[in-house]
Amino acid sequence: MASIKEDSTSKWKFVILISKFVFHLIVASIKKVFGVLIDEMVVVFDTDVAMLGLLCSVPVALMLVACPIIAHLLAHGRGSPRVISLVGMTSGFGALMFSSYTRSCVLFGIYMTVLGIALAMGYMTCCVTMNDYFANSFVMVNTLTEIGSSVGILFIPILIERCERAYGYCGAMLIFSAIFLHQVAGSATLRPPPEQSGTLPKKIECSKDIVSRRSGQVGAGAVSPFKSTQIKIKLGACEGDTEAGDKQVIDELKATGNGQCSLGGIQQIRHERCFEGRDPKHENSFCLPRTSEFSDDDCIHTDTIEQCPLISEEIGLTTNGTAQDSCQTERKEFDQPHSITGFFVNCIFIREPLFTLVLPVYFLTHVGTYAWMLYLIPHAKWQGISSSKAVLLSTIGGVGALLGRIFLTVILYFGVDPFVISCISSAVASATFLIDPWVTSYHFMCMTAFLQGWTLFINTTMRASMCKITTSSQNFTLGYGYAALSSGIGGLAGGFAAGALYDATGSFQTVFLFLGGIHALVVLNLLVYLLIIHVTGNKSEDMAT
């Protein structure tokens, strides 16, 4: 996606905010809904808890696992966010509805797989569109939208539990499918900000001293599609002394006579052809990449380009070197990723070492969080708590999650380091799980459920914030995709590992002690990161936002 350094001025950004809020509200409740229905699902599907734990973890976990694929589609302009999201949400609704009628674990797993891929299509498009509208305040605004997860966990499990009593498993699933259908309407709201699709008038003075015609050096003329593969130049008017009969100059370049250049706008597209260097017909001309508006013969002459330094200022194009040198340099950069050495050199895990360092945090956090979401209610029932009171524990955890995210939004507004917050919340979460052998009364369970909801959902909210801080602006989309992948693998592993541990020991107490150890590892990883930051003083440029 094109990089916008300031928040969009369009009021439509608040519609995007609401859409992402609703998305989190519904998606976060999926695990809790399965937690409410899991006892009846064991009877319906005639299987063990470990298998159901794996199948019920597939949708949300696969949503995160598939994010890198969707991220690459978006980064290379293979589809608009609106279309991708609409296709995904419609498919997800169909899969969830049909899963209500099946009694086969195989078919249920297929439906959950389709649902997970569909959720990935909606999730990445929401995140990327949000980053386009709120590029400067993404960390705080994204945290605000994820409060929707807490709202969903707070209310939807209670609704589904009542529906199960009245209509049974199938009826409850159909009602939840109808709730999920609201995301189709939310997908229709995803559209790029006007800064990407409209015009941004801007006047910049031109200088004829930028270019030396005799030496062949070019200022703004070395157009590099490799360094900005998502940008199309659309020029308005520029003063020029083009020669009569010069039919190669683009029609948009016309004389204004005021010594200034105006930039009509910068639009997001995908370049379909690499920069080809000098035009052999014109010694001082450069070919723009082929698009629907520019043909092979459309060239900008150095006589004209020399007066338009605004091109390089606006989109960071090359400002030094001859055409041939620039072209050769860009071709080397373009060809390098196709070799094994080039892949590792340009791999995001090499270029963003801090991002790579905290990547295990996403995995471990979601192992603990997703297992807790799935087995909190069964754990309470194993302790001898009635079904209605066990469901109430989920609601109390949802209240804690809601208040925790509101608290997180406030302290982020005042500039507290997200990594410090996550380290403290992980330590508290680890403590609440490790004291589980001494949690015997229902009131004590309510207290620990509240603290677990508060801390765990602070940690899961931090994925976007940590990614924004540890990656550069141009690597955010791919970085967020890989962060989601790590989280998704953790979600799958958490549901299955916790269920297998219960099947092996017959004790949910062992499961909760295991989750306490997982969060202790998160604390250790974050402490290593904070130590490195303290020693090197190395922080991302986006930390200030």
Banded pLDDT at 544 (limits 50, 70, 90): very low
- Please state, in angstroms and as integers, the Cα–Cα distance from residue 305 to each residue in 215, 282, 329, 408, 488, following that order: 15, 14, 20, 49, 49
How many Å apart are CA 114 and CA 480, to the nearest integer?
22
85 phi-psi bin (left φ>0, alpha ψ -120 to 50, beta other): alpha
What are the domain boundaries of the chain? 13-195+352-544, 211-341
How many Å apart are CA 333 and CA 345, to the nearest integer?
11
- Average pLDDT value for residue range 44-55: 81
Q: Which of 33-42, 216-225, 491-500 has the lowest average pLDDT?
A: 216-225
pLDDT attached to residue 347: 79
**Sheet containing 260-268: order of strands:** 203-205, 260-268, 231-238
Q: DSSP assignment of 359-396, as one string?
A: HHHHHHHHHHHHHHHHHHHHHHHHTT--HHHHHHHHHH
Query: What average pLDDT does the structure give for the chain?
Result: 74
Structure tokens at 35: 């937690």
Highest mean pLDDT among 60-74, 109-123, 223-237: 109-123
Q: How many CB atoms lie within 10 A of CB 97?
A: 17
Secondary structure of 345-362 in HEC code, one letter for each residue? HHCHHHHCHHHHHHHHHH
pLDDT attached to residue 352: 87
Better-predicted residue by pLDDT, 112 or 1:
112
pLDDT attached to residue 429: 94
How many Å apart are CA 267 and CA 254, to the nearest integer?
20
How many Å apart are CA 420 and CA 138, to the nearest integer?
19
Whether the model clears a pTM of 0.75, i.e. scores above it, the answer is: no
How many Å apart are CA 291 and CA 134, to the nearest integer?
29
Radius of gyration of the chain (CA): 27
- Average pLDDT value for residue range 148-158: 81
Taking each helix axis from N to C end, the angle separating 105-133 and 67-75, rounded to the nearest 10 degrees, works out to: 40
Model confidence pLDDT, tens digit, residues 513-536: 999 999 999 999 999 999 998 888
Model confidence pLDDT, tens digit, residues 228-277: 333 333 333 333 443 444 444 444 444 444 443 333 333 333 333 333 34
pLDDT attached to residue 197: 60
- Name the residue among 317, 457, 406, 426 with its Cα closest to residue 361: 426
- Average pLDDT value for residue range 141-159: 83
Banded pLDDT at 341 (limits 50, 70, 90): low
Cα 345–Cα 335–Cα 468 angle in degrees, nearest 5: 45
537 phi-psi bin (left φ>0, alpha ψ -120 to 50, beta other): left
- Average pLDDT value for residue range 432-452: 91
Position of tokens 């008038």?
201
Q: Which of 63-72, 245-254, 449-458 has the lowest average pLDDT?
A: 245-254
How many Å apart are CA 22 and CA 146, to the nearest integer?
9
Start-to-end CA distance of the chain, whole Å, equals 19
Q: What residues have CB less than 8 Å from 503, skipping those under 6 apart?
A: 48, 49, 50
Q: Which of 82-86, 140-144, 176-180, 285-289 has the lowest average pLDDT?
A: 285-289
Position of tokens 């997001």?
268
Answer whether 133's CB lies under 8 Å from 16's CB. yes
How many Å apart are CA 179 and CA 303, to the nearest integer?
61
Of all residues in the chain, the percent with pLDDT exceeding 90 is 23
Model confidence pLDDT, tens digit, residues 409-429: 888 888 888 899 999 999 999
CATH of domain 13-195+352-544: 1.20.1250.20
Bridge partners, residue 265, by sequence: 234
